[in-house]
Amino acid sequence: MGYEPTLGDVLRSQGVSRRAFLQFCSATASLMALPAGTTSAMAEALAAARRPSVIWLSFQECTGCTEALTRSHAPTIENLLFNFISLDYHHTLQAAAGDAAERALEEAQHANKGKYLVLVDGSIPLLEYCSTVAGHSNKETLEHVCADAAAVINIGTCSAYGGIPVAKPNPTKAVATGDIIKDKPIINVPGCPPMPLAITGVIAQYLTMGKLPEVDHLGRPVAFFGENIHDRCYRRPFYDRGQFAETFDDEGARKGWCLYKLGCKAPVAYNACAHVKWNNGVSFPIQSGHGCIGCSEPGFWDMGGVYESVATGKFGDGAKLGVAAVAGAALGAGAAVLARRKKTQLHEEDAAES
Amino acid sequence: MTLLDFARGPAIHASLIILVAGILLRLVGVLVLTRGADLSRPRDAFGNFKGYRTVFSRAWPASEFNAATVYQTAMAYIFHIATLIVVVGIVPHIEFITSLTGLSWPGLPNFIGVALGTIALVSLIALIMRRLSNPAIYNSTVGDYVTWIIVALPLVTGLMAFAHVGFRYETMLALHILSSALLFAYLPFSKLMHAFWFIFSRAQSGLAYAHKGVRI
């Protein structure tokens, strides 16, 4: 086996200075809420890291997660870090096809038994043959590949929580990775698509510390998903002042007021969009004038309409209240009539006795 | 189904059905039982008409009782007005009412909502303090304290959700909606029904006295 370049070698060959690399390490360490001292440790560990084998499984997905990652901040260190991992199997990105591709999967699994990372995007249909690759159902492939994995990273809401395929009526009976794989460390990096920095941040921490970062109750890294977008939104002062856009073309919308009334889910969506932002820190959905749709949350597609505000009640059929009113009045009248009849009866009995 | 989905879906839905059916059940159930009109000739030809004035004249205690009752009267007014403005004035509530009825109106700035909510809660605490310190006057039952807690919970959870303190926002919002649902379902079967009874009870007293030529 020939010399395998370290990440440091790769970065140097790409003309990335040590200074830029340290900046990346300190930014990542602070984003991941790691102690300041970890920056140099992270730099050393990352620079010396060998290419980890990564198997990327694509199930019921739209390839948006891959698109987001590959077109993220090119050519930044996040991108190079992603390039650095030995992506041994990825439908969209690998050159091989057919049997050769499947052989690459088997070889990677065999050569790195117990050490490789599995990155999953897309949900898994329990109606097994709704989605197959090389004649195997997604469930079979997932179970087979995860059996010898070191850890599983769910990329995107579909693999983390089911995402859009799970949306009612869930025709393929789709489930999340965690519903099938129970015996491996799993971390969720949800989003539709997830933030590239969250993906590379998790990988960087895994390479540096040898373990996955701290997660919240939904299995997401706290460093990126610990705060809701509303708390970090630059439009928050307008919310506090009660200045809301009522439509997408009114004065409030033009002035950049709060989008709460237009269905923004930022108060119940936990992600780093508002401070890390997208496209190299250029913008994020709310900044471009559309409310957050809460894509990093489980079941976001069924959380109510995209344009229904968070405070909206789900009443189904409002006519039920009318029926309830009539029923209540009827019951009341019935009770009163019974009471009156009883009273009359008592009066008659009293009269008969006297 | 998350807690928030449950709260703003089935829970609030069921509680509103209980609220509407319960209010009508109690209103009709009691009003059907009323006695017929007093057939005797009224002392005052306009007695019945004047009797209805009591609905308004009883809105403040008679001057003889001012000193003794000004504390709870003032606190009760502050509580009711502040609560009413919060219920119909802040944007999340208006959004909720709009989703139910289609009606909408401009909302208050958040800081006014927080201020009024706090005032309502403080006045509610002031009232329970008086109740606790004057047991002989109130002769409270367990139901009175339960009612107080059920009224206070939506205020507390609402303020916490609004200020983003306590549990995560979606959990606080769900707790706020659930506590409101509890209030809705409890209202028709408790003293909170005074929201409707106050009109009838005052009018009944006013009519009875006015018929006899007594102005109260």
State pLDDT tens for residues A200-254.
Answer: 888 878 877 778 888 999 999 998 999 889 999 999 999 988 899 999 999 999 9
Low-confidence ranges of chain B (pLDDT < 50): none
Q: What angle do CA B139, B141, B143 make, to 5 degrees?
A: 145
Sign of CA dihedral A147, A150, A155, A158: positive
The gap from C-alpha A191 to its chain's centroid, in whole angstroms, comes to 3
With CA atoms as reference, report the closest residue to B4 among A76, A48, A265. Answer: A265
Give the whole-angstrom CA distance, residue A258 versus residue A264: 9
End-to-end Cα separation, chain B, in angstroms: 56
pLDDT at A194: 92
Domain CATH number, residue B203: 1.20.950.20
Residues in chain B closer than 8 A to A328 (CB atoms): 20-25, 28
Length of chain A counted residue by residue:
354
Tally of CB atoms within 10 A around A150: 18
CB contact under 8 A, A318 and B100: yes
Does residue B32 lie in a domain region? no
- Please indicate if any CB of chain B lies within 8 Å of the CB of A182: no
Q: For residue A6, is pLDDT > 90?
A: no
What residue has token string 């319960």? B22
Q: Which residues of chain B approach chain A closer than 8 Å at the C-beta?
A: 2, 4-5, 8-9, 12-13, 16-18, 20-33, 91-93, 95-96, 98-100, 107-112, 164, 168-170, 173, 177
The dihedral over CA atoms of A40, A42, A47, A48, expressed in degrees to the nearest 10, equals 110
pLDDT at B180: 96
Does residue B35 lie in a domain region? no
Q: Give the least confident one: A72-86, A87-101, A235-249.
A: A72-86
Give the whole-angstrom CA distance, residue B124 versus residue B144: 13
Percent of chain A whose predicted confidence (pLDDT) is above 70: 93
pLDDT at A233: 94
- Please indicate if any CB of chain B lies within 8 Å of the CB of A346: no
Q: Which residues contact B114 (CB under 8 A, 6 or more apart)?
A: B159, B162, B163
Does residue B143 lie in a domain region? yes
For residues A305 and A315, the answer to whether their CB atoms sit within 8 Å is no
A163 — alpha (psi -120 to 50), left (phi > 0) or beta? left
Give the whole-angstrom CA distance, residue A258 versus residue A276: 19
Does residue B95 lie in a domain region? yes
Of B33, B91, B112, nearest to A340 by CB-CB distance is B33
pLDDT at B84: 96
The token pair at B156 is 């507390």
Of A268, A309, A315, nearest to B4 by CB-CB distance is A268
Residue with the bigger pLDDT between A313 and A232: it is A232
Three-class SS of residue A152?
strand
pLDDT at A74: 45
pLDDT at A1: 41
Three-class SS of residue A354?
coil
Of B28, B92, B170, nearest to A333 by CB-CB distance is B28
With CA atoms as reference, report the closest residue to B79 among B162, B148, B174, B145. Answer: B148
Beta bridge partners of A152: A118, A186
State which residues form the domain around B178: 3-27+41-211
CB contact under 8 A, B5 and A328: no
Does residue B192 lie in a domain region? yes
Residue with the bigger pLDDT between A187 and A97: it is A187
Chain B: closest CA distance from residue A285 (Å)? 21
Percent of chain A whose predicted confidence (pLDDT) is above 90: 42
Residues in chain B closer than 8 A to A332 (CB atoms): 24-30, 32
DSSP secondary-structure letter at B123? H
In B, minimum Cα distance to A303 occurs at B5
For residues A239 and A230, the answer to whether their CB atoms sit within 8 Å is yes
pLDDT at A185: 92
Beta bridge partners of A228: A270
Per-chain mean pLDDT for chain B: 89
Does residue B66 lie in a domain region? yes
The confidence band for A83, taking pLDDT boundaries of 50, 70 and 90, is low
The gap from C-alpha A237 to its chain's centroid, in whole angstroms, comes to 27
Task: Write the class of the CATH domain A229-302.
Answer: few secondary structures
CB contact under 8 A, B29 and A335: yes
The token pair at A96 is 């091989």
pLDDT at B132: 93
pLDDT at A202: 86
ipTM for the complex?
0.76
- Please indicate if any CB of chain B lies within 8 Å of the CB of A331: yes
Burial class (CB in 10 A: 0-12, 13-18, 19+), B177: buried
Element containing residue B115 per DSSP (H, E): helix B110-133
Residues in chain B closer than 8 A to A228 (CB atoms): 168-169
For domain A7-224, give the CATH number: 3.40.50.700
The gap from C-alpha A202 to its chain's centroid, in whole angstroms, comes to 14
The confidence band for A72, taking pLDDT boundaries of 50, 70 and 90, is low
Q: List, for residues A97-130, the tens digit of each pLDDT value.
A: 888 888 888 988 898 888 888 999 999 999 978 9
Does residue B34 lie in a domain region? no
CA distances from A256 to A253, A270, A283, A349, B91 (A): 5, 22, 13, 77, 18
Residues in chain A closer than 8 A to B92 (CB atoms): 309-311
Selected for mutation to probe chain A from B6, B13, B30 (highest A CB count within 10 Å) is: B13
The confidence band for A50, taking pLDDT boundaries of 50, 70 and 90, is low
The token pair at B122 is 């403080």
Three-class SS of residue A319?
helix
CB contact under 8 A, A312 and B99: yes
Does residue B156 lie in a domain region? yes
CB contact under 8 A, B91 and A339: no
The confidence band for A4, taking pLDDT boundaries of 50, 70 and 90, is low
Q: Give the least confident one: A46-60, A71-85, B123-137.
A: A71-85
Percent of chain B whose predicted confidence (pLDDT) is above 70: 100
Of B20, B32, B95, nearest to A324 by CB-CB distance is B20
Of A239, A313, A321, nearest to B8 by CB-CB distance is A313
Residues in chain B closer than 8 A to A241 (CB atoms): 109-111
Give the whole-angstrom CA distance, residue B117 versus residue B111: 10
As for how many domains chain B has, the answer is 1
